[in-house]
Amino acid sequence: MSGHAVDVGSSRFEPSTFQVNDKKLGMWVFLASEVMFFTGLIGSYIILRWGAASPWPMPGEVLNVPITAGNTFILICSSVTMVKAFAAIEEGDQKMLRIWLLATAFIGACFVGVQIYEYTELIHHGFLPSSGLYGSAFFTMTGFHGLHVTIGVLCILWVAMKSFRGSYSQADHQGVEVIGLYWHFVDLVWIILFTIVYLI
């Protein structure tokens, strides 16, 4: 990318080293800290499992893999609708921006709904955060991710509300781009979590 100051909408700062506007740079720095946060969780999981004295449950033994695989697909779909929202406003298409944003928020909420269903079923079958290392690691990792998705849905609804007020334009749509980055990151984290927690 050959970014220039004139191209970055209403940014008040000259993009320098990173050649992006200030909001986007801020989001990337935040995401870098989020990588550390989730690596802390995933790292603890790997270490706990590596050093566990008793055998760790195999894939599908405790967790419902088919439902979660479906939920993974749902989250991937929401990433596509998000990127479509961004593509729409890049073309200056306000209507499609609103539709895709609402679709993303809805699909994201569905993901959280399925996760709540999954938790309910697991708890019903006696698998709790207090069920040993596996239980506490599972609920901590997926719980923090679910919290991120929930916050993401609320933020997307906020951006959607602003889009109805006409806050974004073809020339200035940093808000859509920045929430998009966050949303895709949450999707990316789930891709890793799903593999490590459910399949391995």
Partner 1 sequence: MSAEGKHQPRYMAVFGGLAVLTAIEVAVAFMGFERRVTVILLLGFAIWKALLVALYFMHLKWESRSLKILAVAPFFPAAIMVIVVMMEKF
- What residues line the site for partner 1 (CB under 8 A)? 1-4, 7-9, 17-21, 24-25, 28-29, 31-33, 35-36, 39-40, 43, 46-47, 50-51, 59-60, 65-66, 69, 72-73, 76-77, 79-80, 82-84, 87, 90, 174, 177, 180-181, 184-185, 187-188, 191-192, 194-196, 198-200
Q: How far apart are the two ends of the chain, measured CA to CA in Å?
A: 38
How many other C-beta atoms lie within 10 A of the C-beta of residue 150?
A: 16
Shortest distance (Å) from residue 177 CB to partner 1 = 6
Cα dist. 2→87, 177, 192 in Å? Answer: 19, 18, 31
Which burial class, exposed, middle or buried, applies to 196 when counting CB atoms under 10 A from its CB (0-12, 13-18, 19+)? middle
Distance of alpha carbon 60 from alpha carbon 69, whole angstroms: 11
Q: How far is the CB of 122 from partner 1 (least distance, A)?
A: 19
Give least dist CB 125 to partner 1, A. 21
Nearer to partner 1 by Cβ, of 12 and 50: the residue is: 50
